[in-house]
Structure 1
């Protein structure tokens, strides 16, 4: 075998060895890295939340649908995040009405809370890199830990879309309780749809006189001069979705 040929073979073997070493290293890092989506049982959700939120560096975004173990754990953990972290909480009107003190008890008042009439899901997103998704708030079933970049990004977009339509917690709480009832919401929906008083009253199983009294009270509470303006303000106040 010539010297040149031997040198060529040796170089080829060195390159092959380097390629194998690189492949093994990549595989090892992938094996040691986080699973893109992992299922956790309901009993360990609190521990998983702590593992996700504790190392936060920049942002925590949370959707809370109702008072319960999940929401309680999130609110409790948010109180311990560092001062420089931006915290945003989006909750349903039902939760805002039932637990306003807990929601405002964030870290030094830095927790920005908005109330949404949109359909929400119990979700926590940390630094745009990981998330925990609960199928149903009150259930004891499993949750999903998501660390897949594309999926977390999609959850961020879902949160951002609902956040822009939310209303500040203080503004929500200033509304008269009479405007936050289910009957008022149904009346507002019919006003927006342009139903006649007779049709709306029949659909809601109330007398025409009672329906018109409710409409007058709603317009007075919203400081609206017309039914159209009442509908616009109902959306602004988060009483109706856009």
Structure 2
């Protein structure tokens, strides 16, 4: 029976209850796989739980719509009219997120029109490609953002501190000098680390340097992009 499903059924208006349940469950499994791949390969520290749920639920809704429409042209125009009155205001800024939501919609369409082999094969290839891109040089692995603050009057020592931070961090940015005291200058840096546990070693190193005072390290949130 499962082989018959994979071969694809002839497209008709109203599928049987068993076929409808199988199609919806398949859409659920495939969209959930895509959503978890999105979470795993997400380059930002935070990810949107609502966007994660939207990927899963959108596939179910799309599959139901495709099975409800069938070959009925009148029903298709009715659904288009119903969707047209809904105003979507979510601004998706990251093109990668657009592709993932489109992939979830695609597996819903494939399941709804009983193209099970297409949906399964497409999901497997899409997920493997997303993982390969994540581990490639073009990928964006999760980073942790920290602000490092210290005071010193020794310019040469500050240069050594900068060289150390550059060597230990994935990305380094020197902020403008914001405050001067009578004896010391205050320096602020932004660093990005792949492993958050390294920040303790950096803090202990700065604390051990003579001539460096008021060492503070503040974890900064990375803005979430939808």
> Same fold judged by TM-score > 0.5?
no
Higher relative contact order (CA 8 A, sep 6+): 2
TM-score interval for Structure 1 and Structure 2 normalised by the shorter chain: under 0.3
Q: How does the TM-score come out when normalised to structure 1?
A: 0.25
